[in-house]
Amino acid sequence: MITVVAGTRPNFMKVAPVHRALEKRGLQVRLIHTGQHFDAAMSDVFFLDLGLPSPAVRLHAGGGSQATQTAAALVGIEADLLRNRPSLVVVVGDVTSTLAGALAAAKLGVPLAHVESGLRSRDWTMPEEINRVVTDHLADLLLTSSRDALPNLLDEGIPGERIAFVGNVMIDSMHHARRHETGILKRHQLEPGAYAVATLHRPVNVDTAAALGATLDALAAIAARIPLLFPVHPRTLARAADLGLSARLQETPGLQTIDPLGYDDFVTLMAGAKLVATDSGGIQEETTALGIPCLTLRDGTERPVTVTVGTNVITGLDVGRIDHEVKEILAGRGKRGEVPEGWDGNSGERVAEAILTFLSGWPPARTVRR
């Protein structure tokens, strides 16, 4: 039996193609939902859109600080692993649930596979960077989404035989969603290519009055040139209320805020956009795969292939730079990119094959089951 741990909407997108590919090969798969994202808009609707079965167990690790979430998820995952004793734990991405799953498996001596290994931002103020590095150093099998991950891992002393390039499972789910186009544009009276989309939720952009104010300045610069639709993450909405910026969020000219969307709706919306502005790593990847210009409102990225090969431009919150890039895109001079190697919709299959090879004995597990 294989246990897969997930807890947030980006996790679910990465888990779905892996889950399908493993079950197709006759493997028993048990899904633990940590509850890190626990409301229907951020969780349940994604299971429906992605065709994921209901989790075998739902924990309640959402809310509270990073430490509180990690502790709650760790306790719940450990208890489930003790009861069910899988042959392998699979974690995806870089969120709190990823780290908790990795720690629980390592402490119990259960072999661990990490999907999306080797991404590095070099920014230690990001909780996700800590999660990535620790998880990679606990993993027995490291599955990478882009070729630039390999030198990152080798430089950290991880043996090459433990690393396998599988491509980007996120793109598998995006292709799945593209086959389920929705009426989201009609519902919001949008014309393809005549609007922009924004998503923002990272602490560096929303957790203080100065940061959220600068983020709203950036969004205002975009909305001044093209209608901007903003599905607001619950975290961003809560911070705006706490910081007294809700009115500004709702009243910026040209900016329309809406509730979070299901995955099929969001992919349909993103595919029809003229440009996307985000602080999400996954959306940097999806826009590159779709050929849609992306402005990353951070000072760096752990996904450099989206910049070197894809459609992504790093602008930070520099309003002048953002305005320039938007003008270039609207004039037809926006950045053009290519789809990186392995972002072909078949990564879940390659993950499953790598896992089967591991379960047959190569590379040998570092951990010993207790």
DSSP characters for 39-51? STTTTHHHHHHHT
203 and 130 in a single domain? The answer is no
* Residue 163 parent element (H or E): strand 163-165
Residues 137 and 254 in one domain: no
Are residues 162 and 222 located together in one domain of the fold?
A: no
| Active-site residue identified among 137, 175, 180, 201 | 201
Q: Is residue 370 part of a domain?
A: no
How much is the pLDDT for 234?
83
Q: Does any domain span residue 174?
A: no
Question: Does one domain contain both 198 and 157?
Answer: no
19 is catalytic: no
Instruction: Please return the burial class of 88, using the count of CB atoms within 10 Å of its CB with bins 0-12, 13-18 and 19+.
Output: buried
Q: Domain range spanning residue 142?
A: 2-167+344-359
* Statement to judge: residues 161 and 289 lie in one domain: no
Separation CA 13–CA 92 (nearest Å): 10
The reply to whether 338 falls in a domain is no
Q: How many residues does the chain have?
A: 370
C-alpha span between 224 and 327 (Å, rounded): 11
From the number of C-beta atoms within 10 Å of its C-beta (0-12, 13-18, 19+), residue 338 rates as: exposed
Q: Which residues contact 103 (CB under 8 A, 6 or more apart)?
A: 70, 74, 134, 138
Identify the pLDDT of residue 313: 98
pLDDT at 370: 44
Residue 118 belongs to a domain: yes
Residue 295 phi/psi, 5-degree rounding, is -110, 120
Do 350 and 317 belong together in one domain? no
Question: pLDDT digit string (tens) for 348-369?
Answer: 999 999 999 999 999 998 855 5
Do residues 243 and 313 share a domain? yes
Helical (H) or strand (E) element with 152: helix 149-155
Task: Give the Cβ contact number of residue 258 at 10 Å.
Answer: 14
Q: Is residue 337 part of a domain?
A: no
Same domain, 155 and 50: yes
Q: Are residues 23 and 163 in the same domain?
A: yes
Q: What is the pTM of this model?
A: 0.92
User: How many domains would you assign to the chain?
Assistant: 2
Q: Determine which helix (DSSP H) or strand (DSSP E) holds 29, and give its type and residue range.
A: strand 29-33
Rounded-to-integer distance, Cα 98 and Cα 133, Å = 11
| Whether 27 and 161 share a structural domain | yes
Residues 138 and 199 in one domain: no
Q: How far apart are CA 303 and CA 317, in angstroms?
A: 18
Reading the block at residue 122, the tokens are 């070099």
Q: Are residues 12 and 159 in the same domain?
A: yes
Strand partners for 275: 196
Asked if 311 contacts 274 with a C-beta cutoff of 8 angstroms, the reply is: no
Show pLDDT as tens, one digit a residue, over the chain (370 residues).
Answer: 999 999 888 899 999 999 999 999 999 999 999 987 655 555 677 788 998 999 999 998 877 888 999 999 999 999 999 999 999 999 999 999 999 999 999 999 999 999 999 999 999 999 999 999 999 999 999 999 999 999 999 999 999 999 999 999 999 999 999 999 999 999 999 999 999 999 998 888 888 999 999 999 999 999 999 999 999 988 889 899 999 999 999 999 999 999 999 999 999 999 999 999 999 999 999 999 999 999 999 999 999 999 999 999 999 999 999 999 999 999 999 999 999 999 999 999 999 999 999 999 999 988 555 4
> Cα(311)–Cα(290) distance, rounded to whole angstroms?
9
The CATH number assigned to the domain holding 135 equals: 3.40.50.2000
Residue 350 inside a domain? The answer is yes
